[in-house]
Amino acid sequence: MNVPLFSLIFTCLTLFLQARPDAPARLRPPFLKKGDKVAVISPSYAPSGEKDTTVVAACRLMTSWGLVPVLGAHVYHPDSLQVDLGIKGKPLAHRLEDLRWALRDTSIKAIIPSRGGYGAIHLVDSLDLADFRAQPKWLTGYSDITNLHLASLAAGVMSIHGNMCVDFWRRGADNPGNRTLYSLLFGTLPAYHLPRNPLNVNGKASGVLVGGNMITLEALMGSSWDFPRDEPVILFLEEIEETMHAVDRLMNMLVKQGRLANVSGIIFGGFTACKPDLKFPSIEAMLRPYVENLGIPVCFGFPAGHVEINLPLIEGAQAELTVSDEGTLLEFLMP
């Protein structure tokens, strides 16, 4: 095959996938290279001020990686929820403006939020999915950024559930979550081998990896931003500062609304600072009866979420989950 013909076929295939955001073969953003620009924005809560150490330290780390951090115009928007909702000002519009800029600016090759918190759910209805597909770029983050992962997924573009600026500052360059994120952004796919957890359910499954913060994910269930129903899914769930009552209610929602019907495997991450207000030894022990008879592999205690070691997961990528007496293996089936 000559090169021009190959290029034509590749271009047609790319346009075909871009025209079908529900296509199982999702777009993988290009991996980064030295000198690439990275947008730092605050789509949820924001750091405290223009000399905030979170952003300064994060930019220093990204610079050491050979990247060029570029701050959004409103990265330090006011943090008051009342103001964030647009009741007293324009911060909602400012956050949307920064996100659109980061998606549309052709010189920006990745987007790393300053932090999570709350508020990204207000942006999703105003986003144009074509902005995600026109120039696919890696979006990282977790917690409230789950909203944007679901938007990217709806657009048919992969993203990374992983650390943000606040984690670069708090945990430093040597943290395994930060080191692995660096390697992934530059093109090294991770394969995770974890020791056996006594609550695990053995099995092997493949599917598109989706998920994130449990309460954030379920707020969008049944909407245009819901995770796929028509293909096998490996579902990742984590939570922070919710009660056992709340987590139990969220799990019941998944079960009773039939959202586990196409789930081929489940990965439970960290359940951090969750109040033990029911008589279970742990959140995980409470969740085990819901999943033990589904006939699918289930991994408990995966190091991802609001935990010290937050290993990056590629949302929208085909993955294979193997849970056995020897432990858990998670691999990403990407070229």
Q: Which fold has domain 22-185?
A: Rossmann fold (3.40.50)
Sequence ranges of the domains in the chain: 22-185, 191-332
- Alpha-carbon distances of 132 from 271, 277, 294, 316, rounded to whole Å: 30, 41, 35, 13
The mean pLDDT value for 32-36 works out to 98
**pTM beyond 0.75:** yes
Of the candidate CATH numbers 3.40.228.10, 3.50.30.60, 3.40.30.10, 3.90.1170.50, the domain formed by 191-332 belongs to: 3.50.30.60
Tens of pLDDT, residues 247-282: 999 999 999 999 999 999 999 999 999 999 899 999
Contact 304, 310 (CB under 8 A): yes
For the record, the structure tokens of 286 come out as 């409470």
| Beta-carbon contacts of residue 9 (< 8 Å; ≥ 6 apart) | none
How many Å apart are CA 287 and CA 251, to the nearest integer?
A: 8
Q: What angle do CA 201, 206, 209 make, to 5 degrees?
A: 95
Domains 22-185 and 191-332 share a fold: no
Tens of pLDDT, residues 277-316: 899 999 999 999 999 999 999 999 999 999 999 999 999 9
